Amino acid sequence: MDSQDGSGTQGGITVRRALELPGLRGGLPEVVACADRLNRTVRWVHAGEVPHIASLLKGGELLLTTGLALGTRPAEQRAFVRELAERGIAALVVELGPRFTVLPAPLVETARTVGLPLVQLHREVPFVTVTEEVHTEIVNGHYALLQRAEEVAHRCTRALLDGGGVPRVLRILAGFSSNPVFLETPDGRLLYAAGPDTGGTDPLQVWEKLRGARPARTQGPPVGAVVVDVPGAGPGPGAPRARLVVLPVAAAPAPVHRIAVERAADSLAVVLMQARQEEELTARGRGDFLADLAEGRITPADAPGQARVLGFRPGDAPLVPVVMRLPEGGGLGTGGGWAVLARAVAEEVAAVGVPVLLGVRPVEGRVPLLVAPRAAEEREAVADRIAAALRAGVERAGLHHAGTRTPIVVVGAAGGWAAAAAGLRHAAETATAAQGLDDRPWYDARRLDIDLLLWRLREHPDLAAFVDRAIGPLREHDGRAKPPLLPTLESYLAHAGRKAETARELHLNRQTLYNRLARIGELLGTDLDDPQTVLALSLALRARRHLG
């Protein structure tokens, strides 16, 4: 794309700008062919009188000559111009004088035919002055171009340091280039996408149309695209870990955009090296999608299209939200633990045999999923298999050892995309509130609402006062006497007052249990057969977990 001014985004100047500089302007330039092509970029200036000078050029030059090498025969003149046009020079400037007082018609006609701008100078000019002026302008243009690219690269680095992550870097590049920008794995799987803030086509739809039809390794880059490898320890020696792709939607990216992307790729390499594994990047990207869906940043209407790009195609099947919360201090740290976990869990979940979109959220210590059973009636059976697969993945990753708390798996209700968004958010909250409950393969989010309510009230002084009123005497007793009575009360309430089952669980004979229950009633000054008392005690025991 030709620049419209002296600097533009190409790192050179245009033929028009060169003719406006004092050196050439003093020669009274006259454009005799292709005046509509003066926006061509001048990469360099060359002066010479060699008959076959085209072989010495690389393209993009502004060629200055007095015409001594043009030849006297029309065939020679036509050949001279054709060779220059084939070489791709920016323009031919001929100084009139002893050799030509006016340019030959064959020369002009051929220049028009091949589309080569042709300029004649009516006054003699020092070619060295023209060369110095144009080269200075070009160098200044390159410097300005590099400055712009460095400014963008600095913004990208600052975004990474501020915690903005890969999505923020891609948004900066997309805004600068006015085109969608993507981060892909070397084999063409999408990790992140961003579009310019000016709106327009959804970048994920662009990627799916141009890149998603078949793996990128089987196709060349789209015409005009910028593709830059992100250095890092890829699958082979010297192989890239990922690549940045700028697709030419609004306009063909300019060299300044490529420079900015190359600079940003170096910064992203640090992030990807820290992530260590491609699986973690993919899982983080899907985790970001699920988090955005849960928080309302992605609408239920837009979610199916974005999910398809991420490889999740549930069709008309119901969606079941699932969230696994890992215990604090689970050993993941900041190294490659999340990569190992993501890979192990993904392999275990794949064996369940239903569509699953799995992500990771390292900051919150969660693994969110969307599962698509064939029918809503299969929710519990599929939840059993998914929960088992999740825990198996945790064990494979070496994150669950004897004596450590097991991860909590919470399953939401089946429904459409709107229900999935609310269900993911609800499951994430209840997974936090479920800490300390009896270990189960998985919890139904709907049955944890009381725990969630109590967890939200954990900082309120009235909750602590309520617990103290309800079971304070038992806590005081257990602090100074044996046997402790709170475990007996917990088991009794958990079995809905069924004494035989409570005795079996506690390994007590019935009379001992009766004595303990009587002592509990005496200490609390209440009747354990009263429904309101049972409700209050149950709530107090649940609330106690959230009060430390």
> What DSSP letter does each residue of 273-332 carry, written as one string?
HHH--HHHHHHHHHHHHHHHHHTTSS-TTTHHHHHHHTT---TT--BEEEEEEPPTT-S-
Residue 313 shares a structural domain with residue 415: yes
Alpha-carbon distance of 98 to 66, in angstroms, equals 9
> What pLDDT sits at residue 231?
79
> Residue 426 above 50 pLDDT?
yes
CATH of the domain at 376: 3.30.70
Residue 450 shares a structural domain with residue 464: no
Q: How confident is the model at residue 235 (pLDDT cuts 50, 70, 90)?
A: very low
- Determine the structural domain holding residue 66 and report its residue range: 13-139
CATH of the domain at 126: 3.40.1390.20
Asked which of 72-81, 267-276, 331-340, 514-523 is least confident by mean pLDDT, the reply is 331-340
Q: Which comes out higher in pLDDT, residue 154 or 231?
A: 154
Q: How many CB atoms lie within 10 A of CB 26?
A: 15
Domain membership of residue 297 (yes or no) is yes
Q: Could you tell me which residues are beta bridge partners of residue 321? A: 370
Domain membership of residue 158 (yes or no) is no
Helices H, strands E: what count in the chain?
19, 16
Per residue in 432-448, pLDDT tens?
Answer: 888 777 788 999 999 98
DSSP β-ladder status, 181-184 and 242-246: antiparallel
Residue 468 shares a structural domain with residue 433: no
> What pLDDT sits at residue 220?
63
Q: Which comes out higher in pLDDT, residue 338 or 170?
A: 170
> What pLDDT sits at residue 421?
94
> Residue 217 above 60 pLDDT?
no
Alpha-carbon distance of 293 to 323, in angstroms, equals 14
> What pLDDT sits at residue 38?
93
> Residue 201 above 60 pLDDT?
yes
Residue 520 shares a structural domain with residue 386: no
Q: How many CB atoms lie within 10 A of CB 213?
A: 9
Across residues 529-547, what is the average pLDDT?
87
> Residue 157 above 80 pLDDT?
yes
Across residues 178-195, what is the average pLDDT?
82
Q: Which of 426, 455, 484 is the last residue of a domain?
A: 455
Residue 212 shares a structural domain with residue 287: no
**Total domains, the chain:** 4
The C-alpha R_g of the chain, in whole angstroms, comes to 36
C-alpha of 503 from chain center = 55
Q: How many CB atoms lie within 10 A of CB 251?
A: 13
Distances (CA, A) of 291 to 106, 182, 355, 361, 429: 69, 20, 19, 8, 12
> What pLDDT sits at residue 274?
61
Alpha-carbon distance of 171 to 160, in angstroms, equals 12
> What pLDDT sits at residue 198?
64
3-class secondary-structure state, position 15: helix
Across residues 509-535, what is the average pLDDT?
90
Domain membership of residue 8 (yes or no) is no
Asked which of 47-56, 57-66, 237-246, 536-545 is least confident by mean pLDDT, the reply is 237-246
Per residue in 104-155, pLDDT tens?
Answer: 999 999 999 999 999 999 999 999 999 998 888 888 777 777 888 888 888 8
Question: Exposed, middle or buried, 366 (CB in 10 Å: 0-12/13-18/19+)?
Answer: buried
Q: Which comes out higher in pLDDT, residue 161 or 32?
A: 32
> What pLDDT sits at residue 203?
80
DSSP 104-129: -HHHHHHHHHHT--EEEESS---HHH
> Residue 10 above 70 pLDDT?
no
Alpha-carbon distance of 142 to 256, in angstroms, equals 9
Per residue in 283-314, pLDDT tens?
Answer: 888 889 999 999 999 999 999 998 988 889 99
> Residue 335 above 70 pLDDT?
no
Across residues 156-169, what is the average pLDDT?
82
Most confident range (mean pLDDT) of 203-217, 259-273, 410-424 is 410-424
Residue 242 shares a structural domain with residue 293: no
Per residue in 252-290, pLDDT tens?
Answer: 888 888 888 988 888 888 776 665 556 667 788 888 999
> Residue 327 above 70 pLDDT?
yes
Q: Which of 401, 423, 455 is the last residue of a domain?
A: 455
Alpha-carbon distance of 463 to 267, in angstroms, equals 49
Alpha-carbon distance of 42 to 59, in angstroms, equals 9
> Residue 1 above 60 pLDDT?
no
> Residue 237 above 70 pLDDT?
no
H or E element that contains 444: strand 443-444
Query: What is the amino acid identity at position 181?
Result: V
> Residue 190 above 50 pLDDT?
yes
Among 489, 506, 502, smallest CA distance to 544 is for 489
Domain membership of residue 150 (yes or no) is no
Residue 315 shares a structural domain with residue 443: yes
- Omega cis (within 30) before 483: yes
The percentage of residues in the chain with a pLDDT greater than 70, rounded to a whole number, is: 88
Per residue in 474-489, pLDDT tens?
Answer: 989 988 888 999 999 9
> Residue 391 above 80 pLDDT?
yes
Q: How confident is the model at residue 548 (pLDDT cuts 50, 70, 90)?
A: low
Sign of CA dihedral 156, 208, 233, 276: positive
CATH of the domain at 486: 1.10.10.2840
Domain membership of residue 5 (yes or no) is no
Domain membership of residue 3 (yes or no) is no
Ramachandran sector of residue 219 (left: φ over 0; alpha: ψ -120 to 50; beta: rest): beta
> What pLDDT sits at residue 275?
54
Alpha-carbon distance of 93 to 168, in angstroms, equals 47
Domain membership of residue 285 (yes or no) is yes
> Residue 177 above 80 pLDDT?
yes
> Residue 456 above 80 pLDDT?
yes
Residue 378 shares a structural domain with residue 255: no
Most confident range (mean pLDDT) of 179-188, 207-216, 438-447 is 438-447
Q: Which of 238, 259, 275 is the last residue of a domain?
A: 275
Domain membership of residue 510 (yes or no) is yes
The percentage of residues in the chain with a pLDDT greater than 90, rounded to a whole number, is: 33
Residue 99 shares a structural domain with residue 238: no
> Residue 248 above 70 pLDDT?
yes
Residue 285 shares a structural domain with residue 401: yes
> Residue 212 above 80 pLDDT?
no
Residue 121 shares a structural domain with residue 182: no
3-class secondary-structure state, position 41: strand
> Residue 418 above 60 pLDDT?
yes
CATH of the domain at 237: 3.30.450
> What pLDDT sits at residue 252?
81
Across residues 45-67, what is the average pLDDT?
89
Residue 451 shares a structural domain with residue 462: no
